[in-house]
A and B are shown apart, each in its own frame.
Chain A
Amino acid sequence: MSPHSEAPLLEVSGLRKSFDLSKPFINRLIERSERQLVRAVDGVDFTIQRGQTLSLVGESGCGKSTVAKLIMGLTRPSGGSIRFEGTELADQSAGKPAPVRRRMQMIFQDPYASLNPRWRVARIIAEPMKSFGTHPDPQARRREVDRLLEFVGLGAADGDKFPHEFSGGQRQRISIARAISTKPEFLVCDEPTSALDVSVQAQILNLMRELQRELGLTYLFISHDLAVVNYISDWIGVMYLGRLVELAPAAQIFANPQHPYTRLLLDTVPDISMVNRDMDRPAGEVPNPITPPPGCHFHPRCAHADARCKAQMPDFIATATGHARCHAVQEGRLSPIAERTALRGVM
């Protein structure tokens, strides 16, 4: 499980993305206002080993989907590096370099919006093969489409239908078939089950695990659902307002969360094994990302915050379980996980 046993498939370091929300130049001149930048992703570092799953979790606006888009080249980073098997992608425009991009694909959240409603399913699935030229012969391409449809649990005859004839879960299977059609090694999955019902969610999660075992896929999985993430991941990164606050093996995050924000998330997620738990925990809300609190972004909501947390941004330091960005963890000021285990021990 060591992250450094071999060269990682994906290596992200110091990744940054700012969005400019400034008013037009002339307005700024008249109103004497400053430029206004949102640091959606603010120095994120992680690596993913071949065949493993790293999940990024966090609340809305924490930058997890922006990280996914940056890696896929759907938006250009403001700084930092993204290396896929050693090839630098951060300074390349979308689709370049093509040989590497073919090996990376993406599954989106909304299966209703991510499939062209006017195309038949076979054409949707064949599109990546056509654009990357992996199956130049149309008949061979169609045979491959049929094989993929059966592989994801649909029938070859479904290729002649339109997306509206399928349920949400079936559409997500079509998205998956499209994503694996160019035989990628790396998939970015942005909330692939959030729009689905629970009983269908289990089908899609099982399919994704099966694909990983059979095809040796590597996943970057984006989600806000900690229980789903627990099921699918080897490593978990917790994001808060653009920064990665904790990164550790999945089992460790749940058994031994270090950062106070990770603990807060674990304590507040509704869990079906906790019948009528007392949930009265004052926890505040995520601040406006345009004006994040100075120092550690989490300090206004943190019970362990002191003067240093308010002034100085914590470094991403190694901990007993992985990495965390917290002064209290670094100084050993945090009580161990006693309160949490006591809480969970009930069941």
Chain B
Amino acid sequence: MTLLQVENLTVEFPSRRGTLTAIEDVCLTVAPGEILGMVGESGAGKSMTGAAIIGLIEPPGRIARGEIRLEGERIDNLDREAMRRVRGRRIGAIFQDPLTSLNPVLTVGEQLIETIQTHLKLSRSAARERAIDWLRRVGIPAPEKRVDTYPHQYSGGMRQRVVIALALCAEPRLIIADEPTTALDVSVQAQIIALLRKLCKETGASVILVTHDMGVIAETADRVAVMYAGRVIEVGTVADVLRAPRHPYTAGLMASIPRIGEKPDILPQIDGSMPRLNARPDGCAFNPRCPKRMDICTRLRPELTPDAHGDVACHLFSKEPAT
């Protein structure tokens, strides 16, 4: 049974110059205990997909069509109050900047206790015990003392540990982690990723890990979904997608990442840049930059089609070439 199922999710923003489609017909599934990586360049729609799942699309943005099912139950059409109960209790969130996702005027303990008591029926002292226990689990030294200190008294890496504790303390089934290590230094990033992976294995929670860093995906995720211009264009296991990417965009992206230990004269590059929201070409959005463009690519949008190595949305892999 899948934990999360997203079908044809489309998010639109009405504007004075017409409606902008941020993400279009996004389909995803997340299995229990799985870490799904979501990669793509800025503006590809990966954060927007995460925000839609957790019900945090800011108006005037709206879900125009599609369904989001958590454990079989639709959550995309819940009212604010019902969605507020889902958030935190069943879906946790970790954002990029640990300083802005913590309240600076409340102690770390207050914030944890508030979250725990909102979602679980526990007395204040029991909630405090649980808060200290979570600080210990995320690797905060001397949690009995640090529980009564404020976020500014923590370093960047320690703050992100607190954010992870906040996301996990109500024991949600799914965590949306949006660029959780981007604001951190590399040596700290590795610790945070390892911690996230360990805790999810322990609690059995699934993670949607949104990042632009392929290295982080490679070392953390089980499966990966690649997004381009608002659509998922390739999904598969990390090993398949990273070692044998099939969509020409994924292949170009993988080749253009400099690697330690290799020093080519010229890095393979994808010319051009991702189209803006209001200037997406017809057919496949990647066709103007694609080295393998065919006639059909400028006319017909390829759909995400499953095969033995995962799903790919590209006419090169269409079973029956459409006319």
Contact = CB atoms under 8 A, between A and B. Distances in A.
Interface stretch (B6-14, B23-31, B77-85, B259-267): B259-267
Contacts of A282: 191
Given A198-B257, A270-B189, A231 B215 contact: no
Interface string B157-192: 110000000000000000000000000011111110
Given A199-B41, A209-B266, A269 B186 contact: yes
A230 B259 CA distance: 8
Contact of B186 (A200, A231, A265): A265
A282 to B, nearest CB: 7
A201 interface: yes
Contacts of B261: 230, 254, 273, 344
A275 B258 contact: no
A283 B187 CA distance: 7
A227 interface: yes
B120 interface: no
A271 B185 contact: no
Nearest to B252: A199
Interface residues of A, number: 50
Given A202-B256, A202-B269, A279 B194 contact: yes
B256 A275 contact: no
A281 B239 contact: no
A264 interface: yes
Interface string A244-255: 000000110010
Contact of A275 (B42, B186, B238, B265): B238
A130 B189 CA distance: 45
A266 B186 CA distance: 9
A301 B238 CA distance: 32
Interface string A229-260: 01100000000000000000011001000000
B187 A273 contact: no
Contact of A254 (B190, B198, B220, B260): B260
A200 B272 CA distance: 8
User: What interface size band does chain B fall in?
Assistant: 35 or more
A26 B156 CA distance: 33
Contact of A203 (B41, B188, B220, B271): B271
Contact of B269 (A199, A228, A265, A269): A199
A171 B65 CA distance: 36
Contacts of B259: 227, 230, 271-273
B193 A279 contact: yes
Contact of A272 (B214, B271, B273): B214
Nearest to A197: B41
B72 interface: no
Contacts of A59: 185-187
Contacts of A199: 41, 252-253, 256, 269-270, 273
A277 B187 contact: no
A201 B214 CA distance: 14
Contacts of B265: 209
Residue from the set A197, A224, A267 with the largest chain B CB neighbour count within 10 Å? A197
Given A199-B269, A270-B186, A271-B259, 17 more contacts: A198-B257, A202-B270, A203-B269, A209-B265, A230-B260, A264-B187, A267-B190, A269-B190, A269-B215, A270-B218, A270-B219, A271-B260, A272-B215, A279-B197, A279-B219, A283-B190, A284-B187
